[in-house]
Structure 1
Amino acid sequence: MEAGTHGAELDELLRVVRRRSPAAVLAWLGGRVGADVAWVGRAGAVDAATPGFPPGIARVLPEHAGPLVGGGLAAATTHLDGREVRLEAFGGRAPRPVLVTASSAPLRRHAAMLASHAGGLLELLDRAGEADENARGYEAKSRQLRFAVLTALMSGDVTLARRMTTDDVPPLLGAERVRVHLLHCTPGDRDRLARTYLDPSGYHGAALMVHCPAFKEHLICPIAEDVEPGGRLRQGEVLRRLVRENPGYALGVSRPHPLAAMGEAYGEALHALTVARNSPDRLAVYRGRPSLVQVLPRRPAAAWASAFLEPLGAVPKPTVDVTRLAVTFPRAAVARLLHISRTTVAAHCRRAEEALGVDLGDVRTRAALDLALSLTAVHPGPADDRGPAPTLPELLRTAPAVTWAESFMGPLHTGRNGDLHRTVQAWVDTGADARAAAARLGLSRNTVRSRLRAAERLLNRDLLTTGSGIHDLVHALDVTGGQRALPADETDHRARWPGGRAAS
């Protein structure tokens, strides 16, 4: 055959190989050499074959291909069912794949060469597929490790995070202070971005890019403040550039925090992201007021929280952990976060409700429970038992709480924002139900949600995604005048908590 014709065949073969389909390559080769063709994989079984490949030969192929797969032979020819069967192994290391042709007459030299070319290219396709699979496995494992490291940091356990990374500790874990950047993007872009900026160690320089398991549009990116990633743009600048270049993106950024306070930084970034999504440049750095937890007087606050949560000492720790998340995040998000069913989340919440004697369907009860859980995290250890624990209403009447609440609600107290104040009050009073609030105010549901988004911007709090901002709003409204009047007999330290449980 002329060289030009042979070259044209090879070009055609390469075009077929680019489809990355062994079946297509075998069909093309069988038509060219006048034979039925099969591909025996490294496991010794037929992975693909042309439709006319004789079933009788296919059944005995593993026996004949075995020595070639194992590396004992490079090629062999035999006769089966009245056909010449030619076997050729490819690759340098066993186990090796084998190309098999079955024809009524011996293959001519040119046909045998073409079969060898096709077999070599199929083996390269095999190796490319293995490399892709290994790369996907590596990416999946590094993604799991990054999530585990972030989870440890969210709980404040920096030592555990470092232990997880063994001898290859990422620069982020050597930082003294970090900012959490929370990027809102499409779910598909999360994968692409995490791969694009991945370093050889499976991290992202002095940062991490971690898929948020609760919200599929969020990419959580803690970035070290005091570690410079050599030779590359600072990751914060990269994220800002991505927001500028992609109209559907938004970025919320926390203030700098110690590494062990990653959870608090994440909360700030979440609030900032809410502001960013309602801002023209889709970027916001958290500048909100401190939370109520940070300003309450320590001893009475710890005493109240300890008394409120005492019944939870009788339930399993996983129930407390699940309930802690469920008072802040939607239950579906909690299920995704913990890889459990929504039914399991609901069962844990019911167990906590029964122990506390409360109804977690009530927004004020959820706010009280979240406050108590947050206070025990900030003030761990035994409570001050020198006197009876205060009630929550008494705790909220302390001077620091009143000052905090007036400052928090200040942006909604101006004349032009009176409608926003009335709307958030009605929304809280109807259990954070926009439809019920709309009916009470005589407005449309869309108008209520629009006003809530405006309130989010002014308060610098997320109200519509998680419960953390709602709970601050509930307490601030109660302190500044939205609180329902207390019955006359609720004046001592045995007053009932929101939800019905007595302090004693």
Structure 2
Amino acid sequence: MPIPQVLDELLRQLRPRGGQDVTLDPQGLIDWLGRHIRAEIALVDRAGEVEVATARFAPEVLSDLQPVLAQLSSGQLAAAASQRGGFHVRCAALGRHVPRPVLVVGSHLPVTREALALTSHVGALVEVLRQARQADDLALRYQQVASRLRLAVFMALMAGKPTLARRMTAGALPPLLDAERLCIHLLRCPPADRGRLIAAYEDASGYHGRGLMVRCPVYDHHLICLLPVEHDDDNDNVGGGLAVSLRALVRDDPRYALGIGAPVPLPATARAYDQARHALAVARHTPERIAHYHDQPPLAGLLPRQQALAWAHAFLEPISTAPQLTLDITSLALNFPRAGVARLLDISRNTVTAHLRRVQDALGLNLQDPRSRAELALALAVNDLPPLDVNTAAEHAPTLSVDRLLSTEAAITWAQAFLQPLQTGADRAVQQTLQAWIQADTDAQRTAHNLGISRTTVRAHLRAAEQLLKRSLQTPGPGTHEIVHALRIADRAP
């Protein structure tokens, strides 16, 4: 076959078939070349191992070629030829970067000039395919590293440490960290869509313009979008084009929903995330599938500050010397399922359970009980508040019981406002279900049994409560803690 026709056939090996993409397959090219020049061929990689070879290539051929292969791979030679007992061997180094792969061609007949030319073409194509595959691998590794860096920045912001987030980027600073405030848009979508969406909006720096998109490490259906607040007086235009795109995605796909938190300072990212979670719980049950968070002052900030700090310090004193990892796991376990905490920290679920058991034993609590979890969460929230008067230490204030703290006028007013949406008509049945649900340790099956209703009805009442209270209740977190406190205050209030 004339050389031009052979080259045309060689190029056809690279054409997509059946509408599929080009397959980067050196093995196919080596087999094709072996058939055309009637030779046995092997591709020796940079480590000196056979990467691909024709079916009848004898590995012992390479044993006598080791010195030559070393010279070819190191760049000392470009090509070499030898003869072993009537077996003709040609070797050619591929590429420019040492150590180089080597193409070895062996046959019982001398290799013709045309066969050598064709071998040279195939060798060049094989190296191009190898480089393309390496480029794909490098691109994939870059995407993985960029994804981990974005997650690390998000976690530093969740810990209230924007300065640490800046230092972690090692000079590749995301524009988001130059903003004074941010807003979190929490998108619910099929898990497989998250990577596609992140790639679609990712720029050359690995970020998303002035925003940041992060796969939620706990919930597979959540895509966390951190958007800067550009203007203090324009909260409806947060995040610019990316926010508009997220809304369009939800509008066009009924599987999507979007929860939008309120603008907060960067150190308050954890609060913004909780707000977005609550808003997403509401959005999932509305026709538009988009909901904004309706702000309400947190209970911890309404309690008498010095007395509340004194109570929190006394409550948490048994774990004041616990390892930081134990405290971090405990804080996370109040907001996420234990399996999610394990994934987030890359530890086993048994390790999470062991740390929580130490906290339970030290505090004398049962962290399976939502009331104990809510009380611990309140103590941690109060403990994070600064004292109103820096000259007055919390230890000098009288230590009240938690019941006394929750009996103050501010707490009662907060609980009444929180529960007010449940006070009319059929919504009273929702409140009764919530009370039974808390008493049953948030177990829907036990709640249904205790109330004499179906589990489906319990689930429906919980969804209704999410809509009315604008809080997320289906997963562990602040929404359940607030329900516990509000019901506890309401039961004791005059």
TM-score category, normalised to shorter length: over 0.9
Secondary structure of the structure 1 residue equivalent to 2:220: coil
Which of residues 374, 378, 400 is equivalent to 1:367? 374
Secondary structure of the structure 2 residue equivalent to 1:200: coil
Secondary structure of the structure 2 residue equivalent to 1:378: coil
Report the alpha carbon displacement of residue 239 of structure 1 after superposing the two structures with TM.
Answer: 1.4
1:310 counterpart = 2:317: yes
Q: 1:383 to 1:185 in 2, by over 3 A?
A: farther
1:257 counterpart = 2:302: no
Report the alpha carbon displacement of residue 387 of structure 1 after superposing the two structures with TM.
Answer: 4.0
Q: Distance in 2 between matches of 1:406 and 1:85?
A: 90
Q: Which amino acid aligns with 1:32?
A: H
1:80 counterpart = 2:88: no
Which of residues 395, 400, 423 is equivalent to 1:390? 400
1:403 counterpart = 2:413: yes
Q: Distance in 2 between matches of 1:253 and 1:60?
A: 69
Q: Distance in 1 between matches of 2:487 and 2:127?
A: 70
Q: Distance in 2 between matches of 1:164 and 1:430?
A: 44
TM-score relative to the length of structure 2: 0.93
Q: Distance in 1 between matches of 2:248 and 2:72?
A: 55
1:156 counterpart = 2:166: no
1:244 counterpart = 2:248: no
1:347 counterpart = 2:354: yes
Q: 2:169 aligns to what?
A: 165
**Residues 35-434 of structure 1 aligned to structure 2 (within 5 Å):** 35-226=39-230, 234-379=241-386, 383-434=393-444
Q: Distance in 2 between matches of 1:238 and 1:482?
A: 47
Which of residues 21, 25, 37 is equivalent to 1:21? 25
Report the alpha carbon displacement of residue 480 of structure 1 after superposing the two structures with TM.
Answer: 1.1
Q: Distance in 1 between matches of 2:168 and 2:264?
A: 22
Q: 1:2 to 1:249 in 2, by over 3 A?
A: same
Q: Which amino acid aligns with 1:15?
A: R
Q: Distance in 2 between matches of 1:31 and 1:383?
A: 87
Q: Distance in 1 between matches of 2:93 and 2:355?
A: 58
Q: 2:9 aligns to what?
A: 9
Q: Which amino acid aligns with 1:27?
A: D
User: 432-441 vs 7-16, which deviates more?
Assistant: 7-16
1:458 counterpart = 2:465: no
Q: Distance in 2 between matches of 1:459 and 1:108?
A: 83
Secondary structure of the structure 2 residue equivalent to 1:163: helix
Q: Distance in 1 between matches of 2:474 and 2:375?
A: 19
Report the alpha carbon displacement of residue 317 of structure 1 after superposing the two structures with TM.
Answer: 2.1
Report the alpha carbon displacement of residue 304 of structure 1 after superposing the two structures with TM.
Answer: 1.4
Note if contact 1:328-1:370 (Cα within 8 Å) is conserved in structure 2. Answer: no
Report the alpha carbon displacement of residue 454 of structure 1 after superposing the two structures with TM.
Answer: 1.1
Q: Which amino acid aligns with 2:5?
A: T
Report the alpha carbon displacement of residue 433 of structure 1 after superposing the two structures with TM.
Answer: 0.8
Q: Deviations over 1:259-286 (max 9, x none)?
A: 1111100110111111111122211111
Task: Work out the percentage of aligned pairs sharing the same amino acid.
Answer: 47
Q: Which amino acid aligns with 1:2?
A: P
Gaps (5+ residues) in structure 2?
none
Q: Which amino acid aligns with 2:412?
A: V
Report the alpha carbon displacement of residue 330 of structure 1 after superposing the two structures with TM.
Answer: 0.9
Note if contact 1:46-1:58 (Cα within 8 Å) is conserved in structure 2. Answer: no
Q: Deviations over 1:319-361 (max 9, x none)?
A: 1111111122111010001111011100100110111111112
Q: Which amino acid aligns with 2:45?
A: G
Q: 1:498 aligns to what?
A: none
Q: Distance in 1 between matches of 2:393 and 2:484?
A: 25
Q: Deviations over 1:137-169 (max 9, x none)?
A: 211221111111111111111111111123332
Q: 1:387 to 1:156 in 2, by over 3 A?
A: closer
Q: Distance in 2 between matches of 1:303 and 1:359?
A: 23
Note if contact 1:214-1:334 (Cα within 8 Å) is conserved in structure 2. Answer: yes
User: 31-40 vs 294-303, which deviates more?
Assistant: 294-303
Q: Which amino acid aligns with 2:2?
A: E
Gaps (5+ residues) in structure 1?
486-504
Q: 1:107 to 1:178 in 2, by over 3 A?
A: same
Q: Which amino acid aligns with 1:352?
A: V
Q: Which amino acid aligns with 1:252?
A: G
Q: Distance in 2 between matches of 1:459 and 1:131?
A: 51
Secondary structure of the structure 2 residue equivalent to 1:273: helix
Report the alpha carbon displacement of residue 424 of structure 1 after superposing the two structures with TM.
Answer: 0.7
Q: Which amino acid aligns with 1:173?
A: L
Q: How many residues align?
A: 481
Report the alpha carbon displacement of residue 81 of structure 1 after superposing the two structures with TM.
Answer: 4.9
Q: Distance in 1 between matches of 2:432 and 2:61?
A: 82
User: 306-315 vs 187-196, which deviates more?
Assistant: 187-196
Q: Distance in 1 between matches of 2:118 and 2:293?
A: 66
Note if contact 2:3-2:114 (Cα within 8 Å) is conserved in structure 1. Answer: no
Q: 1:245 to 1:482 in 2, by over 3 A?
A: farther
Q: Distance in 2 between matches of 1:61 and 1:216?
A: 53
Secondary structure of the structure 1 residue equivalent to 2:394: coil
Q: Distance in 2 between matches of 1:261 and 1:97?
A: 54
Secondary structure of the structure 2 residue equivalent to 1:329: coil
1:471 counterpart = 2:461: no
Q: Deviations over 1:270-309 (max 9, x none)?
A: 1111111112221111114232123222222212111111
Secondary structure of the structure 1 residue equivalent to 2:395: coil
Report the alpha carbon displacement of residue 242 of structure 1 after superposing the two structures with TM.
Answer: 1.8
Q: 1:260 to 1:39 in 2, by over 3 A?
A: same
Note if contact 1:156-1:263 (Cα within 8 Å) is conserved in structure 2. Answer: yes
Q: Distance in 2 between matches of 1:157 and 1:93?
A: 43
Q: 1:441 aligns to what?
A: 451
Q: Distance in 2 between matches of 1:97 and 1:43?
A: 8
Report the alpha carbon displacement of residue 383 of structure 1 after superposing the two structures with TM.
Answer: 4.9
TM-score relative to the length of structure 1: 0.91
Report the alpha carbon displacement of residue 3 of structure 1 after superposing the two structures with TM.
Answer: 5.7
Q: Distance in 2 between matches of 1:60 and 1:401?
A: 87
Q: Deviations over 1:450-487 (max 9, x none)?
A: 1101110111111012221101000001111279x9xx
Report the alpha carbon displacement of residue 12 of structure 1 after superposing the two structures with TM.
Answer: 2.7
Q: Distance in 2 between matches of 1:259 and 1:356?
A: 32
